[in-house]
Amino acid sequence: MEPSNTNNFPARLSRKAKAQAIMDLLESLYPETPIPLDHQDPYTLLVAVLLSAQCTDERVNKVTPDLFSLADTPRKMKEVSVDQIKEIIRPCGLSPRKSQAISDLSRILVEEYAGEVPADFQALEALPGVGHKTASVVMSQAFGIPAFPVDTHIHRLAYRWGLSTGKSVEKTEKDLKQLFPRERWNKLHLQIIFFGRQYCPARGHNPQECPICSKYGRKSLFK
Confidence (pTM): 0.88
Please check whether the domain covering 15-32+148-222 is classified as CATH 1.10.1670.10: yes
Hey, what CATH topology would domain 42-143 get?
Endonuclease III; domain 1 (1.10.340)
Residue 38 falls in the annotated catalytic set: no
pLDDT value for 217: 86
C-alpha gyration radius of the chain: 19
Residue 83 falls in the annotated catalytic set: no
pLDDT value for 8: 43
pLDDT value for 159: 94
Q: Could you say which of 133, 175, 187, 215 is catalytic?
A: 133
Give the chain's residues under pLDDT 70: 1-12, 220, 222-223
State how far the Cα of 175 lies from the Cα of 148, in Å rounded to an integer.
10
pLDDT value for 223: 58
Domain ranges in the chain are: 15-32+148-222, 42-143
DSSP string for 78-137: TTS-HHHHHHHHGGGS-HHHHHHHHHHHHHHHHHHHTT---S-HHHHHTSTT--HHHHHH
Contact 71, 77 (CB under 8 A): yes
Contact 165, 171 (CB under 8 A): yes
pLDDT value for 214: 93
60: burial class by Cβ within 10 Å (0-12, 13-18, 19+)? buried
Q: Could you say which of 18, 151, 175, 215 is catalytic?
A: 151
72: burial class by Cβ within 10 Å (0-12, 13-18, 19+)? middle
